[in-house]
Structure 1
């Protein structure tokens, strides 16, 4: 659907808006969720290795993992250090935020495979969807010729994000 919208949109500003919306979603789903996963891993490791942690400890680990995601492109204010506390996942359903990044990169990488293989891939993909949760993910996507342990497969998903970013930069340069 997204590719159809982009291809049929003639107005460069609207195309840029579509790309930026998709990029925003991808960044939030991949990079932010990975940063949250790293925070979660860090707090559990700290608890195991050092014992009880304070709110200040949590806040420092939160800022560290979030700043690592942003690098030097964003300066986090002091008020941001407590934002970990507004995310209920850490208390109520810990350990699953990685699944968001997994799903987004899986879909982007599978779409890349579809672009390369065409209609042959489409039928196999429909069979994957029909299979539902009948087997482990690595087994189901293995039927598409995908090896989830191969870093190149995941790199295709990251490359798709990079390509959208390049398109957005080119459109932004027109204005």
Structure 2
């Protein structure tokens, strides 16, 4: 059994589990592929380019990477502790986006990518350690969730795959507007 620290990161078990196989491996590989596409989209950019708005949207390439990392971290907190991972509601989550989809003074693309990779490693550890992909928690009350619905670990992973792919499409548009590079087509 794995113990949980107060930061909702699982402690290292006495004996490490073997690498995931089967469905767990497939879900993690699919998520990793989407993360790769997002990372690929920001390759060879400097901080100014990664932080530049290239459309009428507030989105920036670095901001999308930050958002995906925050979202993934919070959803894995949900896997560990349930709906309390979302205490404070969406306003609190928006604050976690560090001022929106942009780099703040002192932040760098390299730092954002390091955090992105750290969150990915955490996700892989948690998915390897969770007892069952069918383990579920009730979702927090929100207009976009069906009242009383619960999500399993599997549903959280599918959601993360879809959301990351969704943001890869945004990133591709932003990158093409920035310098003409097309990473998804």
After TM superposition, the score normalised by the length of structure 2 is 0.33
- Which of the pair is proportionally richer in helix? 1
After TM superposition, the score normalised by the length of structure 1 is 0.35
Q: Which has the larger radius of gyration?
A: 1
Greater relative contact order (Cα < 8 A, sep 6+): 2
